[in-house]
Amino acid sequence: MANTQGRDIFPPSCSIIFLLLQLLSYRKADFSVSGPGQPVLAMVGESVQLQCHLSLNISAEDMEVRWYRKEPSPAVHLRKKGRDMPEEQMWQYKGRTTFWTAGLAHDQAVLTIHNVTVFDNGTFHCKFKESIGSAEATLWLRVAGLGSEPRIQVRAGRDEGIRAECTSEGWYPEPQVEWRDFRGQTLPSTTNLTVSPTTGLFAVVSNVIVWDRDVGNLSCSISNPLLQERMETKSHLPGECSAPFDLKISEHPRQSVVNIQYSVSSQAPAP
């Protein structure tokens, strides 16, 4: 009799409903979030989209979606109760983010960051949250800056060779500098890099000394390791005789070559 009464506590119909409710709760709580499998590349000054999505085919329109850096609060961008929450946003991102709300119906969270800066470089977290549980994914943003066209200044001396200096600014991350002669041989040089405290971009000052004036042309190239692109300037070293100043510039997308040809007169000492 005791066993029969125990079975009557949960009739078959109620047991089925109870199991269905458990399954539904489990399905909603046990979702996961994923992002791109590789770092996202962005150029300084441009806009970039960060995307993550739910693993289950459920609507995220009623969920809280939080984008953040190291700490959840304040957020890079927060979508809560169907609206953006600018009052809970980091000051560095105020006015710089746009959230694509239509993506929530397709299980996606798409955030656009405008006017990308060096300080955006690094990790971002995308978190979906509901009453039962939450899940998040980590994304990596790599920021690149292609600097200005290099400039070469040449100073000629009689006893200490010819000194050439190459300068440029606006690079990120740390650029690579290389000097070559007209034969394509690499020349030893000294390069100093400084970082702007306001923009975080690198400025380059590189120097080379040439003892043989017959070396002819010099080239200074600066490359960005993330972009696999470079900017190059070529200069004709001053000889023993005068020659007219000649400046020729040829441009290519994200690569500029400046040919500077000039000479410095050298006069023999008076007897």
Annotated domain spans of the chain: 29-144, 151-236
CA distances from 232 to 104, 117, 140 (A): 46, 24, 30
Classified by CATH at the fold level, domain 29-144 comes out as Immunoglobulin-like (2.60.40)
Instruction: Give me the residues paired with residue 83 across strands.
Output: 80
For 190-246, what is the HEC assignment? Answer: EEEEEECCCCCCEEEEEEEEECCHHHCEEEEEEEECCCCEEEEEEEECCCCCCCCCE
Predicted TM-score (pTM) of the model is: 0.73
The residue among 212, 206, 208, 211 whose CA lies nearest residue 231 is: 206
Top-confidence range, 24-33, 186-195, 226-235: 186-195
Q: What tens digit of pLDDT does each residue of 100-156 get?
A: 888 787 788 899 999 999 999 999 999 988 877 888 999 999 999 999 999 999 887
Residue-level pLDDT at 105: 75
Do 29-144 and 151-236 come out as alike in CATH topology?
A: yes
Sheet arrangement for strand 186-187: 186-187, 176-181, 217-224, 229-236, 255-261, 246-252
**Would you say domain 151-236 falls under CATH 2.60.40.10?**
yes
What does the pLDDT average to over 189-199? 96
Q: What tens digit of pLDDT does each residue of 44-60 get?
A: 999 999 999 888 766 67
Q: What tens digit of pLDDT does each residue of 81-113 get?
A: 888 999 999 999 999 999 988 878 778 889 999
Task: Identify whether the C-beta of residue 20 lies closer than 8 Å to the C-beta of residue 12.
Answer: no
